[in-house]
């Protein structure tokens, strides 16, 4: 059916045109998805670093309020005062992925009670703060040590 100017009113896409469009969409999706996954890894690693800094600050505040100065033996239930009030952190942050092998590790130095080590495992292998062979991390870890 033609209109007055001679154009076909029922034109459609050809099979070749549809295949080209689907190929372009597939290539774009193939480029975007890996970048999106890497961005999520970097975001979780940034959260881990922030959590370590918050824990470190809470540990320092705890130490300054103790007489004699000392760090807590563990971080399993927050950082309570002797009366049982949790004033430094209500709860220890959970790892953003919340699965093995990604965790936060706190260890008090057995020889010097004024030293501790905090460790978080990182996902992004190209993170400039990551180091291999830290704690039980499979690839990279970040460590905060307080002398």
> How far is 36 from 68, CA to CA, in rounded Å?
49
DSSP codes joined into one string, 74-125: --BTB-B-TTS-B-S-SSPPPPSS-STT--EEEEE-SS-TT-EEEEEEES-T
Under 8 Å between Cβ of 108 and 71: yes
The pLDDT of residue 27 is: 92
The pLDDT of residue 110 is: 83
| Global pTM value | 0.69
DSSP 135: T
User: Which residues, including other chains, have CB under 8 Å from residue 95's CB and lie 6 or more apart?
Assistant: 48, 51, 102, 103, 104, 120
The pLDDT of residue 81 is: 57
The pLDDT of residue 136 is: 74
State how beta strands 104-108 and 140-146 pair: unpaired
The pLDDT of residue 25 is: 94
In the three-class reduction of DSSP (H, G, I as helix; E, B as strand; rest coil), residue 143 is classed as strand
Q: Where are the domains of the chain?
A: 15-146
pLDDT in tens for each of the 147 residues of the chain? 555 666 666 677 889 999 999 999 999 988 888 777 788 888 988 998 998 898 888 888 888 888 888 888 887 656 665 556 667 777 778 888 776 666 788 888 888 888 888 888 888 888 888 888 777 777 777 777 765
The pLDDT of residue 19 is: 94
DSSP bridge partners of 143 = 119
């Amino acid at each position: 059916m033609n209109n007055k100017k001679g154009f076909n009113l029922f034109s459609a896409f050809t099979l070749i045109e549809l295949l080209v469009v689907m190929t372009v969409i597939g290539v774009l999706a193939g480029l975007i998805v890996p970048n999106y996954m890497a961005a999520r890894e970097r975001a979780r690693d940034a959260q881990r670093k922030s959590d370590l800094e918050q824990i470190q600050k809470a540990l320092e505040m705890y130490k300054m309020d103790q007489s004699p100065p000392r760090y807590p033996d563990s971080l399993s239930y927050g950082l309570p005062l002797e009366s049982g009030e949790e004033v430094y952190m209500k709860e220890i942050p959970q790892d953003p992925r919340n699965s093995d092998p990604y965790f936060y590790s706190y260890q008090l130095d057995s020889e010097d009670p004024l030293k501790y080590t905090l460790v978080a495992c990182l996902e992004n292998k190209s993170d400039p703060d990551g180091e291999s062979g830290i704690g039980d991390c499979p690839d990279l870890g970040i460590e905060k040590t307080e002398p």
